[in-house]
């Protein structure tokens, strides 16, 4: 693979990170870009100034949504080191998503190097306030101008960076979730397990309708029987029962979340009984009525751990922990964030440490 070219802009002023960040609203100065053609494969890797794209109106992605993306985070640890959380797992998932929508895979080692080099260039944009991080958004889209339906011959891969705070405006306050019993997000053997824009388009109407009724997000049920719980708009879901923590098993229509995987590992480390299995909404309600639901929480890169305070299904509202964050949710949030910021031992080698090197920007 070629050496990454640098075309850096000269910063007149030191980077100033706004006091309140929210999620995905501001972007750093540079992006990584690379192109694919059938003749050359992936080529032209470059780190350059962030600029608007100029695309042909016939660009295939705009018509047929052939694209994939990832979301991962870089943190500044307590001692000023820069780390990226589980980039290998995200890169692997990007390639898995790509295969499903006929996008050529990327050499994982090269993409990791690109992530590291871009984050090094933009290290001044990594917030060091607790709960904040640099969100990394790699994405690929079919860039050939053509109106027939087929895989694009050309692609563009871009890595965009955005300093972020909490995903939900509620912060760590528990969210209200509506169990969606009308629309479906995905079906088994469809696109559900891929991080592809189409899945998010499919979720918008339900999410908007739920917002109109005062909910933050929806909990999707399976696409065939609408019986088993699957995932929340931007998170995987865990039900904390008295003797078992349950999360829906990956069946092809659920996103294999990296935070989901990390939480399962942490629970196992703590010797908590965690299972991945089918769990129906009726079972959740039955256990709730018996007083066996200790709490419900969601996991995701953007959301980290988010307590669910209320879950409503067909007009029946379940309230957990009196609308306060659950004990286990807080413990998991503290453990994950302690790993992110270098306060807890990284015993599973989830952090990729970025060597300090001075890049003049």
What is the nearest approach in angstroms of ligand COI to the Cβ of residue 302? 3
CB of 216 to ligand COI, least distance (A): 13
As measured in angstroms, the least distance from the Cβ of 256 to ligand COI is 12
Smaller CB separation from ligand COI, 97 or 180:
97
Question: Taking the complex as a whole, how short is the minimal distance between the CB of residue 215 and ligand COI, in angstroms?
Answer: 17
Supply the minimum distance, in Å, between the C-beta of residue 226 and ligand COI: 23
Sequence-distant (6+) residues with CB within 8 A of 154 are 35, 36, 37, 38, 142, 143, 144
Q: Which of 90/144 has CB closer to ligand COI?
A: 90
Residue number with CB closer to ligand COI (294 or 304) = 304
> Based on CB atoms, which residue is closest to ligand COI, 138 or 309?
138
What is the Cα–Cα distance from 200 to 206, expressed in whole angstroms?
11
Helix 258-269 with 327-340: angle, nearest 10 deg: 110
Residue 288 to residues 175, 281, 324, Cα–Cα distance (Å): 18, 10, 16
Nearest to 46 by CA among 34, 61, 36: 34
Specify the residue, 59 or 203, whose C-beta has the smaller distance to ligand COI.
203
Shorter beta-carbon distance to ligand COI: residue 135 or 288: 135
**Minimum distance, C-beta of residue 71 to ligand COI, in the bound complex (Å):** 2
Interface with ligand COI by CB under 6 A: which residues?
A: 71, 234, 300-302
Angle, nearest 10°, between helix axes 87-100 and 108-121? Answer: 120
Q: How far is the CB of 233 from ligand COI (least distance, A)?
A: 8
Beta strands 5-7 and 41-49, pairing class = parallel
Q: Closest CB to ligand COI among 71 and 192?
A: 71
> Number of H helices and number of E strands within the chain?
7, 18
Q: CA–CA distance from 44 to each of 1, 40, 105, 164 (Å)? A: 10, 10, 16, 29
Q: Cβ 289 to ligand COI, closest distance in Å?
A: 32
Q: How far apart are CA 163 and CA 17, in angstroms?
A: 8
- Residue whose CB is less far from ligand COI, 152 or 234: 234
C-alpha to C-alpha distance for 32 and 48, rounded to whole angstroms: 6
Q: 37 phi and psi, to 5 degrees?
A: -130, 160
Q: How far lies 84's CA from each of 213, 286, 350, in Å? A: 37, 41, 8
Of 155, 2, 162, 167, the C-alpha closest to 67 is: 155
Closest CA relative to residue 288, chosen from 252, 246, 255 = 246
Nearest residue to ligand COI by CB is 71
Q: How far is the CB of 333 from ligand COI (least distance, A)?
A: 15
Nearer to ligand COI among residue 34 and residue 232 (C-beta): 232
């Amino acid at each position: 693979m070629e050496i990454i070219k640098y075309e850096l802009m000269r910063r007149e002023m030191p980077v100033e990170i706004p006091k309140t960040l929210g999620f995905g609203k501001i972007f750093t100065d540079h992006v990584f870009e690379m192109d694919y053609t059938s003749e050359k494969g992936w080529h032209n890797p470059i780190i350059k100034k962030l600029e608007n794209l100029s695309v042909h109106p016939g660009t295939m992605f705009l018509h047929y949504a052939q694209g994939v993306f990832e979301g991962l985070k870089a943190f500044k640890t307590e001692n000023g080191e820069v780390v990226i959380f589980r980039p290998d797992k995200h890169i692997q998932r990007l390639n898995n998503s790509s295969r499903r929508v006929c996008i050529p895979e990327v050499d994982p080692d090269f993409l990791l190097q690109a992530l590291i080099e871009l984050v090094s260039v933009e290290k001044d944009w990594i917030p060091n306030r607790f709960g904040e991080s640099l969100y990394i958004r790699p994405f690929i889209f079919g860039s050939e101008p053509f109106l027939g339906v087929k895989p694009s011959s050309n692609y563009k891969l871009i890595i965009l960076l955005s300093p972020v705070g909490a995903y939900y405006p509620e912060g760590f306050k528990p969210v209200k979730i509506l169990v969606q019993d009308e629309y479906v997000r995905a079906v088994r053997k469809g696109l559900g397990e891929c991080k592809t824009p189409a899945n998010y388009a499919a979720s918008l109407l339900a999410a908007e309708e739920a917002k109109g009724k005062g909910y933050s997000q929806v909990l999707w049920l399976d696409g065939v029987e609408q019986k088993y719980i699957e995932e929340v708009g931007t998170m995987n879901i865990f039900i904390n029962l008295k003797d078992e923590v349950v999360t829906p098993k990956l069946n092809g229509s659920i996103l294999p979340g990296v935070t989901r995987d990390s939480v399962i590992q942490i629970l196992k480390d703590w010797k908590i009984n965690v299972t991945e299995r089918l769990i129906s909404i009726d079972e959740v309600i039955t256990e709730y009525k018996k007083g066996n639901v200790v709490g419900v929480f969601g996991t995701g890169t953007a959301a980290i751990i988010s307590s669910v305070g209320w879950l409503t299904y067909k007009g029946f509202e379940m309230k957990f922990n009196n609308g306060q964050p659950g004990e286990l949710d807080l413990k998991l949030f503290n453990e994950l964030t302690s790993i992110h910021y270098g306060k807890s031992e990284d015993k599973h080698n989830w952090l990729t440490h970025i060597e300090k090197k001075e890049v003049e920007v």
